[in-house]
Amino acid sequence: MSRLEEQFARQLEGARLPTPVKELQFAEGRQWRFDFAWPVQMVAVEIEGGTWSGGRHTRGMGFERDCEKYNQAALDGWTVLRATGAMVRDGRALAAARMALDGEA
């Protein structure tokens, strides 16, 4: 688990939101996993590291693979929230997760 993921997990605990499943594999026959998932609500949060440093999620093949993964998740009925490091640090990721889990999204 990355430092950003650890920080988000601590925020979730502090906010007393339902405990998510970490690294949930969601598509039969694929190795795709969500960083954080609430299967009953079909809500997932993906923490996207390296957004300003040319990380895997922002370069060619990594970006394309993420698009394929998120498209399949949407087709399967998941709400997938994507959060950058800045969004985790300033609380926007937590606020979005709370809204999605409360059915306000």
Whole domain around residue 26: which residue ranges? 3-101
Average pLDDT per block of 10 residues along the chain, 105 residues long: 94 96 94 97 91 56 90 97 96 98 80
pLDDT value of residue 101: 96
CATH number at residue 94: 3.40.960.10
d(CA 94, CA 61): 28
Q: DSSP for 31-76, please give it.
A: --EEEEEETTTTEEEEEE--TTTT-GGGSHHHHHHHHHHHHHHHHT
d(CA 46, CA 100): 13
Q: How many domains does the chain have?
A: 1
